[in-house]
Amino acid sequence: MERPPRIRRYLKKDYSSRVEFPVEILGRDNQVRRFPFDDAVRLYHRRIETASLRYADADTVDAEVGHCRLRIDQLRRSYIAAAGAGRPSAASGLLGGPMAADILFFLRRALGESEGDAASATLVSLGGSPAGELWWWSGTGATRGCTLYAFRLDGEGPPEARLALERELARLRAAEHELGAEHLYAGLITADLALLLAGTECWQGPSGILNLSPAESRDDDHPPDPWRAAMLALQEGQVHHALRTLEAALDADPGRRVLARSGAVVAVMAGEPARAEFIARFGLCAEPGDGLLRYLLALSTCMQGGTLDESSFGPGRPRGTLAMLAALNALARGRPLAALSAGAGARLQLGDADWFALAVARAVRFSAWSLVLSRSFAGAVVVLSLGLASAGEWMPGLGSALLATVLAGVAELRCRKMARAALRTGQLGAVRLCPPELLPRELEARGMMGGCA
């Protein structure tokens, strides 16, 4: 079988060559853009996270993920090669592999150096725990010395690394106002690596670095928006961290609808339907008529094995995404006519249904008509078989009736199984019932639009 064009292009690529920075990358709009090292690595990480959403073919998804990983390794090797003597001198652990490029880039940003040199980038290993690495930097930069905590967060790193990272963050932030205690200078969290720079002296260099910022650098009159912080964490692949941020923000501000909407969507994306149900119910206490929250409540109930009734969809006839869910629920119960009736309400309406609702509605409509036709065909065959039996041809009549009944039963079971699996897993084929597109937009988060109902 001939491979798709994208796979053929990837097979011809040379990942061993050295790239120059800023690197040129072709976007989905066929426009070439130039990216620095950190933005290029994050771009390929995001492409890995969204590969299954952008391509329906499993082979193409695997090829896209493999291509992005090879490109990330190529970028890291090229950055280290360009650094020359300015690279970290240690050659063990993370500093001995390709992720040394990310560490060097982070140190240059944190220490305020555009190029760096061998002395300022020298790190001494302090051992650390099995979940992470601990390094000591000393020199003549922003401060005389500080500690670098490094955690590998991908599948090749220790499974307890994320918990260790959260413990260190909590410890550093809890002691930030204690005199003489170690506090956080700057940090970096990406899809596969987390770095924390901390110390006890007065920090004179840049702070924050991407999606972390120490509390002492914040303006009390303009605190950081938790929704924005959660979205940044989500872009870096930190789904559970984003979920915890939204839950904490919703607990502090239960009346802000965008937090409940975002939290419920992220909880479903993280595979936590019980938390999604709690967040949706919590949000509905403040906004009883919110259509998206009612949809997420119904979906999370199904994903936990619960059953839906008419009251689950709220007052009035279900429409948009709720109608899509009602159609799947009717099909799972073997009620094709009810599924067709509900599916008719899953039309694209401003601020309600989305493209995925239409795709699911089409699949449900096809399956429901298949059930109606198979049942009608089986009934017609049984009637004809009775006629043959009355004429003395009972053997052909009995065989035809059995065959038609078996075929109709197989079609019935397959359609019901498909609908139940979609409600339980939150995915129908390549279509997710809760895609990232359901996340509220920037204008809604700022309170400049009402959002969908």
What is the pLDDT averaged over residues 16-34?
83
Residue among 78, 51, 53 nearest 67 (CA): 51
CA separation for the pair 343, 363 (Å, rounded): 10
pLDDT at 141: 54
Give the tokens for residue 216: 């002492």
Each residue's pLDDT tens digit, 216-254: 333 333 446 788 778 877 766 677 878 888 888 888 888
What is the pLDDT averaged over residues 91-105?
80
Q: Is the pLDDT of residue 397 over 90?
A: no
CA separation for the pair 187, 214 (Å, rounded): 9
Each residue's pLDDT tens digit, 181-210: 888 888 888 888 889 888 888 776 666 554
Task: Name the CATH code of domain 91-215 (choices 3.30.200.20, 3.90.79.10, 3.40.50.620, 3.50.30.30).
Answer: 3.30.200.20
In this structure, of 33-47, 165-179, 252-266, 397-411, the range with the lowest mean pLDDT score is 397-411
Residue type, 372: V
Task: Name the CATH code of domain 222-316 (choices 3.30.930.10, 3.40.50.150, 1.25.40.10, 1.10.357.10).
Answer: 1.25.40.10
For the chain, the helix, strand and coil percentages under 3-state DSSP, each to the nearest 5: 55, 10, 35
What is the reported pTM?
0.49
pLDDT at 325: 83
Best-predicted range by mean pLDDT (111-115, 157-161, 233-237, 445-449): 157-161
What is the pLDDT averaged over residues 281-300?
86
Q: Note if the bond before 318 is cis, omega within 30 degrees.
A: no
Return the exposure string of 4-19: e unless at least 16 CB atoms fall within 10 Å of the residue's CB, then b: eeebeebeeeeeeeeb
E runs forming strands in 153-299: 183-189, 193-199
Q: What is the pLDDT confidence band of residue 75, given thresholds at 50, 70 and 90?
A: very high
Domain range summary for the chain, segments of one domain joined by +: 16-83, 91-215, 222-316, 318-446
Contact between 124 and 211 under an 8 Å Cβ cutoff? The reply is no
Helix ranges (H only) for 253-346 are 257-269, 273-286, 291-303, 321-332, 336-343
pLDDT at 140: 54
Each residue's pLDDT tens digit, 325-369: 888 888 888 888 888 887 776 654 434 445 666 777 778 888 888
What is the pLDDT averaged over residues 397-410?
75
**CB neighbour list of residue 432: distance below 8 Å, 6 or more residues apart:** 53, 356, 426
Q: Is the pLDDT of residue 53 over 90?
A: no
